[in-house]
Structure 1
């Protein structure tokens, strides 16, 4: 039986071998925290939020204490969500329609998808049919009667950008942004026909004077009630249309004073997610004369979440999706909405620092967030503190966090209790605080056009400025700072790299400046080299072995705007702004080259590295966690075979074998199984087979399988080497290798197996 199975395996080997080869390392998104909340839906005591990173599920049985239950991460933005029968349907931007099983809300998982050709933005569902607003590609009608296999029934390419959709009878009403409202006959989904259109080309009918912006059309979403359609138009506010004749819709009412994104209707009221201020509540009992009766501004105050993107209603509560938070409001008094709770996650992540199992996020909008990353795939908020300045950077020293808060200066917080960080002091040195590093009781602040500011923080409750340095010419820019030994390395914007002697903190002085070709925004220093994120000129590598005489050693054009950089081992991880993250091999500083990349769904500002995980401060998408796939594969071998974590030298060796030497996963895994360390464990045949299952098949053995393979070993029909190869040639191991982007085996591995039979 084994021989016949092997013959089949060999046929498959020769047909697929090499498909997964190559020297690039895959960076995979495995987790995220925070980001924009794009949509929200209420379903009983559960709230479902479509975010910049996927789906978040909250228990709101007690609205004042909303609890995050579970999450599902997408590769890009998730624009909208609708839930039916424990299944979530996501409009997932470039990924199209995703279908998620919610039977276990703590562990939702993908069961189906339909990859549209547009930007999936909004969803309407009737029975088992999904009506999907697909951006520039118009309307898609998809049958999900079998959720695992969504089936396209029809499509219609509208003239504008389909941002929203609602259905009544045989008509679909598409909020087509610049094209207004498109009305389509969908009675035959395979042959959709346009029957009407409404475009308010005169701007807000009842507002004067009309600005140039207000002359624009921006239909974002639509809700239908009877013969009336309520349209959220970004430029002209709430429009109320009479659609009793779908071929000739007529606007009968307009409330213009809102940047309307999405809306819901509750009785005589329309609740509008206002993208500028939060929530507007409009009385529409007389549709000819809608009037504002209540509002809540989420863009100000401690619980500020920016403007509103979507709103849902359950009973006396309104749930608002904001830019980085979810806001729960009591609307029992419709004229005076009252804040019940706000779930602030991360609105605009600008920087991240790792210490132990915690990530400290400098959130441009919200201040400081402390996140548990003990499980990197599921970052969890521990605590946060809202600051009065834009948080650009954070440094951790002992029990204190030091936040560079731009015009708010330097903020010092006690973070000994990560669940309740406390502000202990604040100081405003000259300039605008952009970066910060702490050493020996002094905080060194990169203060933009005012250079370096040195603050004594030996008593964190009473900081004071002891020195300021504006360079040898009296003018020095400072965007970011890294301290190594007695030197501070400063990313100096137009000036390039400054190297400052801080051996006497009260008398710092510039020992050298190297003018880089671009604009230096970020810097890291390792092993005698400074790595400068040089904006439009990519990554610059500077030899600083002699700090007084820095020399440009090499550079790599990232093709984006290099904003931040962190170095771990032989790789520099560059935050390349709109181009995502670039993993640059710096083993030869004179000849750096691209080893891997990941296109994030927002602006990548800074990175931090821990092990094989890269934490990205990704602005509007919050914190994203990437995994170095090859390192992760090798660490998996250490864990499953040797039951330990690797030393850096060992990890680097095996990664190099896979990446630089072109070795296969089978070759590397065999190296572990035949190692002296593994053999010294003296495992029984049963324990050997169990580890082979776990490592090479990714699962525990069933009793029948375990008995069979142990029997083969005990009878002498197979030895352990042969069992290893048969497992490594399996479909299961091929699937594992595909996940990590590694070639599983080649002809040399087959020959090695064949030699064992001689």
Structure 2
């Protein structure tokens, strides 16, 4: 075996490259000094304002200087309800409360027992490790049962001693059964009935039942078991003889069942596609009363006439069940983290998040701000009206989809849709589809060289498709390096969009924007290009905006906006890039801002403010009063898994999942700052647009400070 000897010059060279990369990425941040003392907010002399009126406050604290920025953020997500945030070692997957203790199953394959009187003291908490992810927790008498996705069942005695037994290929849910038995939803192995063993032997399987569609969730009532499946909905079983379970009834549902909660004659069933409400007054003939489209519902708990739902990235929802045929969303909490599990404790709720936090919140406060509750829909693709077209209601969009489904095969998928005053254009697995808005005519499929459509653009009488070019086009002259592109269509007549030309590209296109006969497009990992569209049949490339090395190696996603002659590019780990495109033939890179560890993937513009989403979860605010020098002046919120970001009607529209939209009021940035000293400032905000509670933030280069007390903005008295 030959050893490799590193020469000193080689080591120096590698060190120099590493140092150069570090400096290059940090240079955009070196121009701002750090204040001499830590920023701190202490108090304000005004707690209330009026809609439509400027808000002036006198603020005391420390560390204020000319670079300090002040922002008011509307608490449309009801985060004032959060009383405590407790950091965990890993994301919470499942949860069980037992008196003054709470058990948490976390993503690091552990279960923690935490004393609620001192929850931060996790070092002293009991914990148990397992081979698979913890999937279910059940307390039966003095015994804790822990199930894992690897089919393990851990039995924990009152003294903390544990015994591990492998029962099945997987266990996804547990419930107590009759005569001290346990019920386990065991995936393809169906329903298992277990009899706990003695001091030396683990549980035995005494009964089982095959479940069509794979058993994912189980709960019980008396001699009945309610099993949720992956593909076959709800199955109700008779357990009067635990050794021979038998099926009583089946009911098809929308989506894979995640969780089942029983309340009186109702079964509330959380699925991968929403909430199903089932009447089980007669278990032999269950009746579906309603299904609410709201994306994945991870857990459902009921307290009186109210149901609480963990809806992933959308947060916690409160549902009024007094009329189960027409349940109403009466409250919400959007903490900016995906919620997988929660536990109710009187007027408090414990929320376990994907980002390794345990939140304690006040249930009485989540019913505030009814105008800002999440909106849900049934489609799985983005919809974009042209700027001059009024957005349509979800009801009208549903009618459009119904018309489309009636004409095309059931498995036709849709990538995106765009529309103007006359026509809907849809990118589907069947190709480009046109559908008249007046309700007449059939959907028309237009032949296109783009065989896999990624997106659509619409400007005037021209439609733009971009995506992957098929092999047949490659055989006819498209090189192996140009398997992507944009295709232009004339839409002077609805009946048949007419192809004009095709522009091949060497890399996938992430976004296009049309302005003043110019097309701006970005290429994944490459920067972008500008084309002249004066002759739509013969577009000419004018120039390109590229990233210098080493930023180019970090560019892995793109979204951009144009303000005047400046283009702002959110470009993955390459940060926020700024280009002067006043000369489209020779665009110039003006600079960049690279937040350490950032991964910028979405961007939106409103006046002199940029809203940029960091894939790591932060929604950032940039001041572009000086368009060539963006200034990171705020981190507004944590947002989990954001798909789209848009500004409309003084609101930020956030789409955290494919089934919901969360609205947030635009933040208010202080328009006048009068620094009396480093500890005293008088600041004035522009007129608030919306009533409600606001958080006051102060920002410097090292982060942010928030004033604990809320500032209330009221409607003016008439």
Task: Tell me whether the two structures share a fold, i.e. TM-score over 0.5.
Answer: yes
Q: How has the CA–CA distance of structure 1 residues 628 and 196 changed in structure 2, closer, same or farther, with 3 Å as cutoff?
A: same
On the 8 A contact 1:349/1:617 being kept in 2, the answer is no
Q: How does 1:443-462 map to 2 (within 5 A)?
A: 443-449=463-469, 450-458=484-492, 462=495
TM-score scaled by length of structure 1: 0.56
Q: 2:207 aligns with which of 237, 249, 253?
A: 253
Post-superposition shift, 1:117?
Answer: 3.6
Deviations 1:35-59 (A, max 9, x none): xxxxxxxxxxxxxxxxxxxxxxxxx
In the alignment, the residues of structure 2 paired with residue 285 and residue 423 of structure 1 have an alpha-carbon distance, to the nearest angstrom, of 58
Deviations 1:558-594 (A, max 9, x none): 5444333222233332333344433344455554453
On the 8 A contact 1:349/1:623 being kept in 2, the answer is no
Q: How has the CA–CA distance of structure 1 residues 498 and 739 changed in structure 2, closer, same or farther, with 3 Å as cutoff?
A: closer
Post-superposition shift, 1:168?
Answer: 2.5
- Give the SS at the match of 1:138: strand
Q: How does 1:88-167 map to 2 (within 5 A)?
A: 110=81, 115=86, 117=88, 119-124=91-96, 131-135=102-106, 138-140=111-113, 155-160=125-130, 162-167=134-139
On the 8 A contact 2:384/2:417 being kept in 1, the answer is no
1:193 maps to which residue? 160
Q: Which has the higher contact order (CA 8 A, sep 6+)?
A: 2
Post-superposition shift, 1:110?
Answer: 3.8
Q: How has the CA–CA distance of structure 1 residues 170 and 295 changed in structure 2, closer, same or farther, with 3 Å as cutoff?
A: same
Q: How has the CA–CA distance of structure 1 residues 157 and 400 changed in structure 2, closer, same or farther, with 3 Å as cutoff?
A: farther
On the 8 A contact 2:374/2:660 being kept in 1, the answer is no
1:397 maps to which residue? 420
| Residue 505 (structure 2) pairs with residue 485 (structure 1) | no
2:219 maps to which residue? 264
Count, aligned residues: 528
Post-superposition shift, 1:463?
Answer: 4.6
Q: 1:320 aligns with which of 239, 257, 269?
A: 269
| Residue 683 (structure 2) pairs with residue 668 (structure 1) | yes
1:171 maps to which residue? 143
Q: How has the CA–CA distance of structure 1 residues 314 and 399 changed in structure 2, closer, same or farther, with 3 Å as cutoff?
A: farther
1:345 maps to which residue? 294
- Give the SS at the match of 1:157: strand
- Give the SS at the match of 2:682: helix
In the alignment, the residues of structure 1 paired with residue 224 and residue 114 of structure 2 have an alpha-carbon distance, to the nearest angstrom, of 30
Q: How does 1:177-256 map to 2 (within 5 A)?
A: 177-178=149-150, 180-186=152-158, 192-200=159-167, 203-204=168-169, 217-233=170-186, 237-243=190-196, 245=198, 248-255=202-209
Post-superposition shift, 1:544?
Answer: 1.7
Post-superposition shift, 1:525?
Answer: 1.8
Q: 2:619 aligns with which of 561, 577, 581?
A: 581
User: Which one has the bigger helix percentage?
Assistant: 1
On the 8 A contact 1:581/1:604 being kept in 2, the answer is no
Q: 2:454 aligns with which of 424, 434, 451?
A: 434
Post-superposition shift, 1:115?
Answer: 3.8
Q: How does 1:553-632 map to 2 (within 5 A)?
A: 553-557=590-594, 559-588=597-626, 591-597=629-635, 600=638, 602-610=640-648, 613-619=651-657, 622-626=660-664, 629-631=667-669
Post-superposition shift, 1:527?
Answer: 0.9
1:545 maps to which residue? 582
In the alignment, the residues of structure 2 paired with residue 743 and residue 550 of structure 1 have an alpha-carbon distance, to the nearest angstrom, of 40
On the 8 A contact 1:239/1:251 being kept in 2, the answer is yes
In the alignment, the residues of structure 2 paired with residue 459 and residue 439 of structure 1 have an alpha-carbon distance, to the nearest angstrom, of 15
Q: How has the CA–CA distance of structure 1 residues 112 and 496 changed in structure 2, closer, same or farther, with 3 Å as cutoff?
A: closer
1:210 maps to which residue? none
1:500 maps to which residue? 531
In the alignment, the residues of structure 1 paired with residue 203 and residue 374 of structure 2 have an alpha-carbon distance, to the nearest angstrom, of 53
On the 8 A contact 2:642/2:654 being kept in 1, the answer is yes
What runs of 5+ residues in structure 1 fail to find an aligned partner?
1-7, 33-72, 75-108, 187-191, 205-216, 299-303, 351-356, 371-379, 635-652, 673-677, 679-693, 700-732, 745-758
On the 8 A contact 1:535/1:560 being kept in 2, the answer is yes
Q: How has the CA–CA distance of structure 1 residues 464 and 401 changed in structure 2, closer, same or farther, with 3 Å as cutoff?
A: closer
- Give the SS at the match of 2:683: helix
Q: How has the CA–CA distance of structure 1 residues 532 and 367 changed in structure 2, closer, same or farther, with 3 Å as cutoff?
A: closer
Q: How has the CA–CA distance of structure 1 residues 737 and 597 changed in structure 2, closer, same or farther, with 3 Å as cutoff?
A: closer
2:364 maps to which residue? none
Deviations 1:299-353 (A, max 9, x none): xxxxx5x422112345665432123422334667868866543211356999xxx
In the alignment, the residues of structure 1 paired with residue 73 and residue 287 of structure 2 have an alpha-carbon distance, to the nearest angstrom, of 41
In the alignment, the residues of structure 1 paired with residue 485 and residue 676 of structure 2 have an alpha-carbon distance, to the nearest angstrom, of 46
In the alignment, the residues of structure 1 paired with residue 58 and residue 535 of structure 2 have an alpha-carbon distance, to the nearest angstrom, of 66
In the alignment, the residues of structure 2 paired with residue 18 and residue 246 of structure 1 have an alpha-carbon distance, to the nearest angstrom, of 62
Post-superposition shift, 1:132?
Answer: 3.8
Post-superposition shift, 1:228?
Answer: 1.0
Q: How does 1:60-79 map to 2 (within 5 A)?
A: none
On the 8 A contact 1:497/1:520 being kept in 2, the answer is no
Q: How has the CA–CA distance of structure 1 residues 443 and 243 changed in structure 2, closer, same or farther, with 3 Å as cutoff?
A: same
In the alignment, the residues of structure 2 paired with residue 262 and residue 629 of structure 1 have an alpha-carbon distance, to the nearest angstrom, of 42
In the alignment, the residues of structure 1 paired with residue 488 and residue 574 of structure 2 have an alpha-carbon distance, to the nearest angstrom, of 30
On the 8 A contact 1:409/1:432 being kept in 2, the answer is no
In the alignment, the residues of structure 1 paired with residue 560 and residue 374 of structure 2 have an alpha-carbon distance, to the nearest angstrom, of 19
On the 8 A contact 1:367/1:391 being kept in 2, the answer is no
In the alignment, the residues of structure 2 paired with residue 382 and residue 180 of structure 1 have an alpha-carbon distance, to the nearest angstrom, of 46
On the 8 A contact 1:562/1:576 being kept in 2, the answer is yes
User: Which one has the bigger strand percentage?
Assistant: 2
CA RMSD of aligned residues (A): 5.2
Q: How has the CA–CA distance of structure 1 residues 343 and 458 changed in structure 2, closer, same or farther, with 3 Å as cutoff?
A: farther
On the 8 A contact 1:445/1:481 being kept in 2, the answer is no
On the 8 A contact 2:656/2:662 being kept in 1, the answer is yes
On the 8 A contact 1:576/1:604 being kept in 2, the answer is no
1:526 maps to which residue? 563
Q: How has the CA–CA distance of structure 1 residues 155 and 295 changed in structure 2, closer, same or farther, with 3 Å as cutoff?
A: farther
1:535 maps to which residue? 572
In the alignment, the residues of structure 2 paired with residue 580 and residue 269 of structure 1 have an alpha-carbon distance, to the nearest angstrom, of 46
1:464 maps to which residue? 497
Post-superposition shift, 1:549?
Answer: 2.7
On the 8 A contact 1:446/1:490 being kept in 2, the answer is no
| Residue 61 (structure 2) pairs with residue 17 (structure 1) | yes
Deviations 1:586-618 (A, max 9, x none): 455554453333564532233112466432222
Deviations 1:700-737 (A, max 9, x none): xxxxxxxxxxxxxxxxxxxxxxxxxxxxxxxxx9x964
On the 8 A contact 2:559/2:602 being kept in 1, the answer is yes
